[in-house]
Chains A and B, each alone.
Chain A
Amino acid sequence: MTAPVTVYVPRDSAALSVGADQVAKELERAAARVGRPIRLIRNGSRGMLWLEPLVEVVTERGRVGYGPVESSRVGDLVAAGLFDGADHDLCQGVVDQLPWLREQTRLCFARVGVTDPLSPEDYLAHGGLLGLRRALELPAADVVAEVTESGLRGRGGAGFPAGIKWKTVADTPGPLKFVCCNADEGDSGTFADRMLMEGDPFTLIEGMTIAARAVGAQEGYIYIRSEYPDAVRTMRRAIDVARAEGWLGADILGSGLRFDLFVRVGAGAYICGEETAMLESLEGKRGMVRAKPPIPAITGLFGKPTVVNNVLTLASVPAILADGAAAYRDLGVERSRGTQVFQLAGNIARGGIFETAFGMNLRELIHRYGGGTLSGRPVRAVQVGGPLGAYLPESGLDLPLEYEAFVAAGAMLGHGGIVVFDDTVDMAAMARFAMEFCAEESCGKCTPCRVGAVRGVEVIDRIVAGQDPDGNLALLNDLCELMTEGSLCAMGGLTPMPVRSALLHFPDDFTAR
């Protein structure tokens, strides 16, 4: 009797969206047919999304990958010797040695796609809990100091130094404090939060537990958008496993630390990705933005001191504690330290996750790794940082991927989502969409955003229709200025960024046709 072959088929929802479940079923059927025992593991995705569904087979050489595999080709693949890692036109070779993966620096995503996401044994075997164990040995203030010294900045978009936020919560006395994870990843072109939660949920749990230890919090909430049902299920199951393992609960790893974690699900409101709207939603209310101050670190969830961090911020923490602040700070450039999980999306030949130290050139990332557009047409515009980020023209892609360089270029690095458009894009339509989206998703609390976005759509329509273009362009600029300066939060405040950048770089698209 031969030993079973280990076969990996991702359970990530991007892989499922192109048929991974059917491929897994076919593989089991084909294995039974040829009498070959297999051990099928449903891993996260390696992040090479153009190769999904990516089937990996464990061989003596390493994990050999095949992709993209359609279920109809499984029989053919098995006949060609897939279970022995044999060559085939879909064979990609040993996955760890693919340049696309090898040239990344994966800290946050070190285990995503490698392990079984819900296996505590796998987690420990791949360096899990080293960060938490170290955090439990250190005084709480030293844990905060470690995060501060690492230079870690919030990965949700704003880039606020995580250590300073944590210190504020730690220094605010109170019998009850919270750690809230913002997993309301609503920006188009971003999917790293989802992939981490589906592919390595224990890392997020560990990061939140370290945060709780650092600031003295007892309770944590992960606010996941309802558009991510698979992430919700995986996170909930991972929390149950973590409780059973003693990684959460009344006496974490025997240290006496008490911390418990709950998943809450959003309900289709983009604005709940704004931290104060998220807190309102967690309190069971309408997701209306709060005026700041008071800041959430002092008056947060239910008025208590609260850490609010993005998924990737919290998921970066275990590696920082495990390897030390210096190792993290040594990566990156200027005031952007460590790694960023870039997401190549939209009209791109090789889309997916590219985690690398800050500082890589945007053009290199899009062309060398992303392979240019999916359509094969020239790149015309790139939007970085989500719907509120600027559109860059092809000629402006020679930018280092770091926070301040983007600000200097009138753009925003944000969450690291990169959406590529080919030369068929109508930039006036994209500018109009930015205003339309803001009108649709505004919480309605402040007038510049609630009314300004509606007026923005109307003014752009008049410009494109050729009605008094000069007068209406002046009006649009006025409106953008007012929204930027007068809005309560980034929704209204940053919507002018895509609009103005489209106007600046693609003025011809706005003239009447």
Chain B
Amino acid sequence: MDSPGASMAARVRALVAAHRGDRGALLPILHRIQAEFGYVDPDLVPLLAVELNLSRADVHGVITFYTDFRSGPAGRALVRLCRAEACQSVGAEQLVAHAEQVLGIKVGQTTPDGSVTLEQVFCLGNCALGPAGQINERVQGRLTPARLEALMVEAVHS
């Protein structure tokens, strides 16, 4: 991957500056970076380390510890299906299998055309209305294969 463009670097410096007074600012900064660019470019590690007076190992270690931070962009629709116990009790595994089959990818992958990224998640706090999923940040409940497909189509084209 190329080193982050000058504009991205400048923007990241500005984000760091905005959180200068915060205690333990690395996580809020990483969230801001991901919200803005859709991912946290691994090439930002040295820059963040210098700006925050941390070692590169520390910054890399934090980014890779948390599953939310991705190293490359996600598909246009980010589909996360809950696989925790409550959703399993109402058919989450069958729903995941259906999504994998329809999309032709496995959990953790993005379709070759870049339209859908499929991920698993453990609990969205919608445990009485499962199976639950989250499509581009919006939680969905009582998902059926048909409803999931309709929501994915809608998300890809919106």
Contact = CB atoms under 8 A, between A and B. Distances in A.
A347 B138 contact: no
A387 B90 CA distance: 16
A506 interface: no
Interface string A345-387: 1111001100000000000000000000011000000010001
Contact of A17 (B23, B28, B140): B140
A14 B125 CA distance: 8
A163 interface: no
A267 B69 contact: yes
B128 A351 contact: yes
Contact of A282 (B24, B68, B86, B121): B24
A417 interface: yes
Interface stretch (B3-11, B58-66, B95-103): B58-66
B65 A189 contact: no
Interface in B121-145: 121-130, 132, 134, 137-142
Contact of A419 (B66, B89, B137): B89
Contacts of A193: 125
Contact of A351 (B66, B121, B129): B129
Contact of A284 (B24, B84, B141): B24
Contacts of B66: 266-269, 287
B13 interface: no
Nearest to A498: B85
Contact of B27 (A185, A188, A281, A425): A281
A440 B117 CA distance: 20
Contacts, number: 149
A226 B68 contact: yes
B31 interface: yes
B24 A268 contact: no
A52 B127 contact: no
A409 to B, nearest CB: 19
Interface in A14-45: 14, 16-18
Nearest to B84: A188
A419 B85 contact: yes
A5 interface: no
Nearest to B142: A18
Contact of A16 (B26, B90, B130, B138): B138
A284 B89 contact: no
Given A188-B122, A269-B65, A264 B139 contact: no
B128 A49 contact: yes
A286 B61 contact: yes
Nearest to A387: B85
Given A188-B123, A283-B24, A284-B62, A265 B31 contact: yes
A18 B30 CA distance: 31
B77 interface: no
A83 interface: no
B115 to A, nearest CB: 22
A270 interface: yes
A188 B86 contact: yes
Given A16-B138, A16-B139, A421 B89 contact: yes
- Counting chain A residues whose Cβ lies within 8 A of the other chain, the interface size class is 35 or more
B123 A187 contact: yes
At the interface, is chain B mostly helix, strand, loop or mixed?
loop
B137 to A, nearest CB: 5
A46 B37 CA distance: 38
A191 B27 contact: no
A430 interface: yes
Interface in A419-476: 419-422, 425, 430, 433, 437, 440-441
A395 to B, nearest CB: 19
Contacts of B79: none
A194 B69 contact: no
Given A187-B123, A270-B122, A352 B85 contact: no
Contacts of A433: 85, 88
Contacts of A269: 65-67
Contacts of A284: 23-27, 62
B122 A437 contact: yes
A347 B26 contact: no
A166 to B, nearest CB: 22
A194 B67 contact: no
A190 interface: yes
A160 interface: no
Interface string A183-209: 001111111011000000000000000
Given A18-B142, A286-B62, A421-B89, A343 B122 contact: no
A201 to B, nearest CB: 15
B89 A425 contact: yes
A344 B128 CA distance: 7
Contacts of B127: 188-191, 343, 345-346, 351, 417, 419
Contact of B125 (A190, A422, A437): A190
A14 B27 contact: no
Nearest to B22: A262
B87 interface: yes
Given A226-B31, A420-B89, A422-B89, 10 more contacts: A17-B132, A18-B129, A52-B129, A186-B122, A229-B137, A284-B23, A343-B127, A345-B128, A383-B85, A417-B127
26 contacts: A14-B128, A14-B129, A17-B129, A17-B132, A18-B141, A18-B142, A188-B84, A188-B127, A189-B86, A190-B123, A190-B125, A193-B125, A227-B123, A265-B27, A267-B66, A267-B68, A281-B27, A282-B23, A284-B24, A345-B86, A346-B85, A348-B128, A351-B129, A352-B128, A387-B84, A441-B122
